[in-house]
Amino acid sequence: MIETRNPLLGPRLAHTDRPFDPEQAAREIRRCLDRDDCGLLETWLADALAADVAEAFAHLEPAYAGRALQLIAPAERAFVFGYLPLSAQSDLIAELPRAALTELLERMPADVRADLFNHLPPAVRDQVLPALAQAEREDIRRLSAYGADTAGAIMTSDYAALPPGLTAREAVEELRRVAPDTETIYTAYVIDAGRRLIGVTTLRRLITAAPDTLVSELMQANPIVAHVDDDQETVATLIGRYDFIALPILDGEGRLVGIVTADDAMDVVRAEATEDALLAGGTAGRLAGTVRGASIRQLYRLRVFWLVLLVFGNIFSGAGIAHFEDTIAAHLALLFFLPLLIASAGNAGSQSAMLMVRALATGDVRAQDWSRMLGREVLVAGLLGLTMSVAISLIGAWRGGPDIAVVVAITMLIVVLVGSLIGMSLPFLLSKLRLDPATASGPLVTSIADVAGVLVYFGIASALLGP
């Protein structure tokens, strides 16, 4: 075991499980800058992992982060900057001199640079763009033109391309030459004179083949591809399904214009999972940045829409109770079971909805599978409802007598069945309408199931017990 000394964090064993503490690192960075003691700070910045440095910077004020960033070697600065959230990047660039910002943009990966450029204020764009080289300017304009949530918006133009006539030896030399400016050289794309993709090969194939073997003999023809207008979630799914390092992206004419790498696909999956979680919790829209850094206004706007909408939706529950006032007045024991029954309906619906949302998101279930899934859900929900009915009927008999027990047991069976069918069907319906199925889970299903539970419960009670 080798002991290494971290100037900011103290002794640290290289093979221990001690976690990195970004808040402590941020405090130490701030202290070093306040004391103008940059020697130890520069040493740590040179030795630490870029992701750790970025996480520490995210806990700093932009002024401190800007000063610390300029202590990092220019060749590594772009890596650290690329790990920061877009909101932190936008705040940080205001602290950088124009020359430092221009150099940073030139060294950044093409896709990260385009994302940042889209978030810059127009005045800053106008200042920075003329200072960049012609190639970088054209690359930014091209990548920034693609629609949000498309493959074009997350792809990078920094890929390794080979002509089919090269030998394996020449191809390895070409990859060595372009390696500093590409996202990955482990996968190389074989293109013709018109930049149309004709095959894919790997570094492993090239270095294990006989030196004089042609690239055309080592490539895999007709590779799996995506197009610039494809949804980014579809691209991430393809990369995950086939364990690709990167996926080639073609334009409308079949020309190779970029690649989406596995790390970018992971970011897409993380963002989509976050969006689905927010929708499942009854929020509207996306959260820009993190919850920690979100403003009160942003959090309010994110949550208010569904809460207000569902308040008015739940008025139907109140109207249902009011309609059966006479039945309730004659059998007050019914009120004891009301929260339990409608909660059971909502819980069953939420469970079913979450299962279907996940299955639709992963491709395990498709929209046309609704009828097949419906039959299974009826059987499963029926068994669940029967089990819960037996349990609640005993309490019903003790609390209100056999008549109440029958009402409660029948209601439990029906509301669990109805709630489950609502929860299962809503994601399919929303998917058919080209809306996000995640909207169906959580508060929306619960509110619909609550209304249905009230109407079913008191409707059965009125029919069996009378007013």
Q: Which residue has the higher pLDDT, 91 or 416?
A: 416
Each residue of 295-310: pLDDT tens digit? Answer: 677 777 767 777 777 7
**Alpha-carbon gap, residue 57 to 31, rounded angstroms:** 13
Is residue 156 pLDDT above 70, yes or no? Answer: yes
Tokens of 388: 């819960």
Residue 270: pLDDT over 80 = no
Can you say how many angstroms the Cα of residue 292 is from the centroid of all Cα atoms in its chain? 17
Helices (H), 243-365: 262-280, 296-313, 315-323, 325-330, 333-362
Tell me the mean pLDDT in the region 445-460: 85
pLDDT top residue among 140 and 192? 192
The architecture in CATH of the region 161-268 reads Roll (3.10)
Residue with more model confidence, 348 or 137 = 348
- Better pLDDT: 400 or 341: 341
Q: Name the H helices within 133-224.
A: 134-144, 151-154, 168-178, 203-208, 215-218
The whole-number average pLDDT for the span 94-108 is 80
Distance CA 12, CA 275 (A): 37
Which residue reads 């609550």 in tokens? 450
Domain ranges of the chain: 3-146, 161-268, 314-465
pLDDT of amino acid 141: 78
pLDDT of residue 293: 61
Strands 226-227, 220-221: pairing kind: unpaired
| Residue 280 banded pLDDT, cuts 50, 70, 90 | low
List the single range of 22-36, 127-141, 210-224 with lowest mean pLDDT.
127-141
Strands 197-202 and 187-191: antiparallel
Q: Tell which residue, 43, 54, 46, has the closest CA to residue 20.
A: 54
| Amino acid in the structure at residue 211 | P
433 compared with 239, residue with greater pLDDT: 239
The answer to whether residue 285 scores a pLDDT higher than 70 is: no
For 267, the token pair is 């970011």
Residues of the chain with pLDDT > 70, as a percent, come to: 89
DSSP 181: G
Non-local CB neighbours of 385 within 8 Å, separated by 6+ positions: 348, 412, 413, 414, 415, 416, 417
Instruction: Check pLDDT > 70 for residue 105.
Output: yes
Residue 447: HSE in the Cβ half-sphere, 13 Å Cα cutoff: 20
Mean pLDDT, the chain, as a whole number? 82
- Does an H or E element contain 64, and which? helix 62-69
Q: Quick one: CA torsion of 48, 50, 56, 60, rounded to 10 degrees?
A: 120
Distance CA(446)–CA(344), nearest Å, equals 10
- Closest residue by Cα to residue 301 from 280, 290, 281, 287: 287
The predicted structure's pLDDT at residue 14: 39
Per CATH, which fold does 3-146 belong to?
A: MgtE N-terminal fold (1.25.60)
C-alpha–C-alpha distance, residues 373 and 354, integer Å: 14
The set of residues, in sequence order, having a beta carbon less than 8 Å from that of 46 and lying 6+ positions away, is 72, 73, 76
First to last CA, the chain: 80
Q: How far apart are the C-alpha atoms of 208 and 18, rounded to whole Å?
A: 40
Q: Which of 260, 396, 300 is nearest to 340 (CA)?
A: 396
For residue 217, what pLDDT band results from cuts at 50, 70 and 90? very high
Please give the C-alpha separations between residue 366 and each of 271, 360, 370, 373, in angstroms, as whole numbers. 22, 6, 8, 10
Q: What's the pLDDT score for residue 10?
A: 37
Q: According to the model, what pLDDT value does residue 12 have?
A: 37
Q: How confident is the model at residue 15 (pLDDT cuts 50, 70, 90)?
A: very low
Beta strands, E only, 192-235: 197-202, 220-221, 226-227
Helix axis angle for 402-432 and 333-362, nearest 10°, is: 30
pLDDT of 281 strictly over 60: no
3-state helix/strand/coil string of 413-445: HHHHHHHHHHHHHHHHHHHHCCCCHHHHCCHHH
Look at residue 286 in the predicted model and tell me its pLDDT.
57
pLDDT at 208 over 90: yes
* Residue 91 CB neighbours (<10 A): 17
314-465: CATH class: mainly alpha
- pTM, whole model, 2 decimals? 0.63
Specify the pLDDT at position 367. Answer: 77
Euclidean distance between CA atoms 142 and 257, whole angstroms: 10
